[in-house]
Amino acid sequence: MHNFYHRLWYYCSVGLINLLVFTLFYAVNSRPPVLASAQSINQSGVAPQAFQLKQGTPNRLIIPSLNLAVPVETGAYRPANDSWTLDEQHAFYAEASTPANNKRGSTLIYGHRLPAIFEKLPSLQQNDTAIVYTDNGYKFYYSYVYREEVDPTDTSIFSSYGKPILTLQTCSGSWDQLRALYSFKLQSVEKP
């Protein structure tokens, strides 16, 4: 009987410790963000700025190094005929992706590999700038990081929740059987 009470005490103690650790972890990681107030001053004597979300729907894309300026429309996938919105004059912002923003996620702009749209993308060099203009007046500046090729069925781009990035997509391969993804990281945002 003594052994039973000893084990019971042991398991209750371990359970209590686990509960305490979970409670502390939850309390530390679930605090709401602290916003700057007039009283909160950092070491430089300046009040820290509260985070301001900046976002908008892309309507124009410029890549100066490629002499590329493309109007951007909103596009979508149409399951009825297994196709995406496409034409030969525009690139398209995939409405299933994240709008251009300064917080997180991937903004996907796709288009044909044609001279007027994305034919020049393979000439991108590391750190080339892409500028995305939005419907509400923001200009998002991105720098080119890398290129990868994926199968057309790869939808992982729509579940990207890391730092904000721009992804340009066009056809690739000898028979356009692949999709080339050109990834850019956010550098800055301005509103003239």
Q: Tens digit of pLDDT per residue, the chain (192 long)?
A: 666 665 655 555 555 455 444 444 444 454 444 444 444 455 656 666 788 999 999 999 999 999 999 999 999 988 888 788 999 999 999 999 999 999 999 999 999 999 999 999 999 999 999 999 999 999 999 999 999 999 888 888 777 778 999 999 999 887 888 899 999 999 999 987
Quick check: 188 and 130 in contact, CB under 8 A?
A: no
Q: Where are the domains of the chain?
A: 55-190
Q: Residue 117 has which token pair?
A: 């749209």
DSSP 38-94: TT---TTS-PPPPP---EE-EEEEEEGGGTEEEEEEEE-EETTTTEE---SS-EEEE
Fold adopted by 55-190: Sortase; Chain: A; (2.40.260)
Picking from 52, 20, 77, 34, the residue whose alpha carbon sits closest to that of residue 138 is 52
Whole-angstrom distance, CA of residue 72 vs CA of residue 92? 5
pTM above the 0.85 mark? no
Question: Tell me: the pLDDT tens digits for 104-136?
Answer: 999 999 999 999 999 999 999 999 999 999 999
